[in-house]
Amino acid sequence: MPTTPSAKPLDLSAATVHFNRPVPVLVEDALRREIGVLAHNGALVAYTGKYTGRTPKDKHVVRDANSEPHVWWENNQAMSPEEFDGLVQLAQEKLAGRTIDVVDTIGGAAAEHQLKVRFLVESPYHALFIRQMLIRPTAEQLADFEPDWTVVDLGTVKYERTVDGTDRDAVIAIDFSRRMVIIMGTLYAGEMKKSVFSIMNYILPLKGVMSMHCSANIGKDGDTALFFGLSGTGKTTLSADPERFLIGDDEHGWDDNGVFNVEGGCYAKCIDLSREKEPDIWDAIRFGAVLENVEMTDARVPMYESKKFTENTRCAYPLEHISNAVFPSVGGHPQNIIFLTADAFGVLPPISRLSPEEAMVHFLNGYTAKVAGTEAGVTEPQMTFSTCFGAPFMTLHPKVYADLLRAKIAEHGSKVWLVNTGWTG
């Protein structure tokens, strides 16, 4: 693994800087600056403008001596160190005169795999979002916090260029040598959390730890279950089971001790959300939560059925908002592993038990559908093959993850199931 120290911190002397502001202050500032509005349930409601989902075409990894032998370059767009230098310079210039929130967070509930990540963000809405999404350090941890990584999030700054004849203005760039991420041109907050996931998908497997795009929960008898799936296929919904205890809804690692959450919050789709169907998620949307791109009535009541801004309406909230979440967010080795496939063509049965060999085929193929709104330009379900059920976030070659998963299944005797959450018949 690369041992290059974190990049030299950006100079914030020309900016107005706030450090680790609490939730009420972030909400107040967002309202005062008209970046968001308050819903009747207490959640902050924000709108992301042009980008209402991730923009994979604008994501890049710096290609250098450290990353060259490890990164899956067929899937990850390369950026030269020189172009990243230009991004750093642009970020430094644009920080001047801005109000910046510094948000210190931790990725990874397992102490031996924790990653300390510092975010520099220009929007109090984004500061609230990432504060609630990752693990919040204790006061003792904050006292001597030294970040392993820095993420610079300047959504209002355009990075204008022409790529293959197409004008682009957003960028998400990851440099594994400098341990820095720069996000520009998009206000979609999900890019921040997925950047951390991409980092963990690089670091953990190189330590022999399986990283997974899945949700996880625990039964009353202590049995752990994993739910793999592409964004929007049901991970959050199925893991939020009132009869089971939630570990996490999206990003996990699996080491010699069991499963651990990478995050400290949930990021749920809320299109057509109802208390009857998803009571835990409904009740989690309260003060401290963030609603994204949700239309509201004049009385500030969220209209979850509305697709006015996007079908990819989202809510972000800390795990503490889920009454049956477990802390710390860890579990044992999984007895059951479920692959969630949103079959857009109705060819798969509702449920199938997979042999270890079949499990590897489905894991590597990742047959599913892109659900409307989860990526820019996706307006209806589209058949896709997303290896490891999360190709956009897989930094290493799929075989690395498949070999780790195969070994874990064999060692612990986990049962693997294929569940169709899409269309049948």
Q: Which residues are catalytic?
A: 54, 194, 213, 231, 235-236, 250, 314
Cβ-based burial of 66 (10 A; exposed 0-12, middle 13-18, buried ≥19):
middle
- Of 14, 5, 22, 377, which Cα lies nearest the Cα of 166? 377
In SS3 terms, 105-122 reads as EEECCCHHHCEEEEEEEC
d(CA 23, CA 285): 14
- Of 256, 263, 215, 253, which Cα lies nearest the Cα of 235? 215
Buried b or exposed e, range 16-52, using 16+ CB within 10 angstroms:
eebebbebeebbebbeeeebbeebebebbbbbbeebb
DSSP 5: P
- Give 339's Cβ-side CA count (13 Å radius): 32
Q: How far is CA 316 from CA 58, 230, 239, 334, in A?
A: 23, 18, 15, 26
Question: What's the CA angle centered on 304, arms 302 and 305, to 5 degrees?
Answer: 135
Q: Which amino acid is at 298?
A: D
Beta strands per DSSP E along 229-308:
245-248, 251-255, 258-261, 265-269, 290-292
Q: Which amino acid is at 366?
A: G
- Token pair, residue 244, equals 């089971």
- Of 106, 25, 13, which Cα lies nearest the Cα of 119? 106
Q: What angle do helix axes 356-365 and 398-412 make, rounded to 10 degrees? A: 150
d(CA 415, CA 398): 21
- Sequence-distant (≥ 6) Cβ neighbours of residue 310 within 8 angstroms: 52, 53, 293, 373
Question: What's the CA angle centered on 189, arms 184 and 190, to 5 degrees?
Answer: 110
